[in-house]
Amino acid sequence: MSILYLIIAFILNSAGSVVFKLAANRGVALHGSLLSIISRNYLVIVGCGLFAINAIFFVLALRTLPLSVANPVMLIMSFIIVSIVSVFLLNERLDSLQLIGYALLILGVVVIFYFQK
């Protein structure tokens, strides 16, 4: 079950990052009444909520997974998911060196996760 919690955590982490980027592209408004600030910055609030839920699932994963395994796997998988979503949703580009870097990150996840003691 801990692996499922970890998968949910890195998906939520990735989603939070993408939502923050969407909020940044839209612009953050910090003037007006509190209600208008909240309504105009709803993507920031959604992103914070995704990160908060991510933290809960990450803590659940850590109940049985070692931090030395769970943390690198969560971060690396988040990097990879965010990059894929950035290409398809945000029209960002990855160059060949970035792709090589991501391939090495995937190899790192395999080594960290499958060869743990």
Cα 3 to Cα 70: distance, rounded to the nearest angstrom = 9
Q: Tell me, what's the pLDDT at 97?
A: 95
Global confidence as pTM: 0.85
Spatial CA neighbour of 81 closest among 3, 12, 6, 4: 12
Count the neighbouring beta carbons within 10 Å of the beta carbon of residue 59.
Answer: 11
Percent share of the chain, pLDDT over 90:
71
Characterise 32 by phi-psi region: left (phi > 0), alpha (psi -120 to 50), beta (else).
Answer: left
With a CB cutoff of 8 Å and minimum separation 6, the contacts of 105 are 76, 79, 80
Q: How far apart are CA 64 and CA 70, in angstroms?
A: 10
Chain segment 21-73, per-residue pLDDT in tens: 999 998 887 777 878 888 888 999 999 999 999 999 999 999 999 998 899 99
Q: What are the tens digits of pLDDT across the range 23-36?
A: 999 888 777 787 88
